[in-house]
Chains A and B, each alone.
Chain A
Amino acid sequence: KAGVTQTPRYLIKTRGQQVTLSCSPISGHRSVSWYQQTPGQGLQFLFEYFSETQRNKGNFPGRFSGRQFSNSRSEMNVSTLELGDSALYLCASSLGGGTPNTEAFFGQGTRLTVV
C-alpha cells in the first residue's frame, strides 16, 4: 500500500511570506501528526489531528496552524515566515485512537528554507 506522501519535497520562501505544506496519510489512517526537525533539536511536536479535529498542540507560536480534511489529508500553514522556521517538516500517520499505542509511519518530509 502507498506510504505517507508529503508535498512539496523542497520549498524556498522569503521572510514574511506564508507557506502551506500537505500530507496524505496511509489509506485508513485517521491520525496525522506534524513535527519540525532541525539539527540538534530532534523532532519537535507541532500538532496532531484525528477525524478533522486537532487533539493536541505543541509549543509553537500561533503562526503555525493546521487542518485535516474529511479524507484525512492534512495541511499545515506557517504565516509570516522567519529565518528560524527553516527546517524539515515531517508528518506521521497512524490508525489513531485515544492513545498512541500503534506504529506511526512518517513521510519523507518537506524541506523548507526561509531566506
Chain B
Amino acid sequence: QQPVQSPQAVILREGEDAVINCSSSKALYSVHWYRQKHGEAPVFLMILLKGGEQKGHEKISASFNEKKQQSSLYLTASQLSYSGTYFCGTGSASKIIFGSGTRLSIRP
C-alpha cells in the first residue's frame, strides 16, 4: 500500500524551512527518502530504520515515529539546489513502495 505524502507541493523562498510528511497504514520497518530533479534519476537522501538507526546525508534530518507509522523530512535554510520532487518510500520484504511525491520549489 502506497504511503501518503503531504503536502503535495510547496513553494519556498531561499532560506525558509519546510517539512514533508509521510504516513503509512501498514507497520513500517524502514522509511526511505529520495529527491528527484527534473529529468534526472531519484537520488538517495536518507533511510530511517525501526529502532532508531538513521543513514543519510549530514545536512538532511528526518524523524520516524514507529507507533504512528509516520516520518517527516526537515529541510532547513533551504537553498535553490533543494528544488525537486521528494519521495518517501516504505520498506518491507525486500521492496520499497514510494508515495506520489512532494514537489518543492525554491524561489530566490
- Mark A residues whose CB is within 8 Å of B: 4, 31, 33, 35, 40-45, 48, 50, 55-56, 58, 90, 92, 96-109
Which residues in chain B, 79-97, are within 8 Å of chain A measured between CB atoms? 87, 89, 91-97
Q: Are A42's CB and B32's CB within 8 A?
A: no
Assembled-state Cα–Cα distance A25/B45 (Å): 19
Considering the complex, which residues of chain B in the window 17-41 have a beta carbon less than 8 Å from any beta carbon of chain A? 29-30, 32, 34, 40-41
A residues in contact with B59, CB < 8 Å: none
Q: Interface digits, B92-108 against A, CB 8 Å rule (1 contact, 0 not)?
A: 11111111110000000
Contacts of B97 in A (CB 8 A): 45
Q: Residues on B close to A: CB < 8 A? A: 2, 29-30, 32, 34, 40-44, 47, 49, 55, 87, 89, 91-101
Q: Are A106 and B95 in touch, CB under 8 angstroms?
A: no
Q: Provide the main secondary structure of the chain B interface.
A: strand
Nearest neighbor of B93 in chain A, beta-carbon distance: A56
Q: 5 A-B pairs, CB-CB below 8 angstroms?
A: A45-B97, A58-B95, A99-B94, A106-B43, A109-B41
A100 to B97, CA, bound (A): 11
B32/A100 in contact, CB under 8 A:
yes
**CB <8 Å contact, A50 and B96:** no
What chain B residues lie within 8 Å of A100 (beta carbons)? 29-30, 32, 91-92, 94-96
Chain B nearest CB: distance from A111 CB in Å? 10
Chain B residues near A50 (CB-CB < 8 A)? 94
Question: A107 touching B91 by the CB < 8 A rule?
Answer: no
Task: Please indicate which of the listed interface residues B29, B55, B97 has the most CB atoms of chain A within 10 Å of its own CB.
Answer: B97
A35 to B97, CA, bound (A): 10
List the B residue with the shortest CB-CB distance to A55: B94
Q: Please give, as numbers and ranges, the residues of chain A lying within 8 Å of B32 by CB-CB distance.
A: 100, 104
* A42 to B32 Cα, complex, angstroms: 14
Q: Give bound CA distance, A107 to B41, whole Å.
A: 6
Q: How far is the CB of B82 from chain A (nearest CB, A)?
A: 19
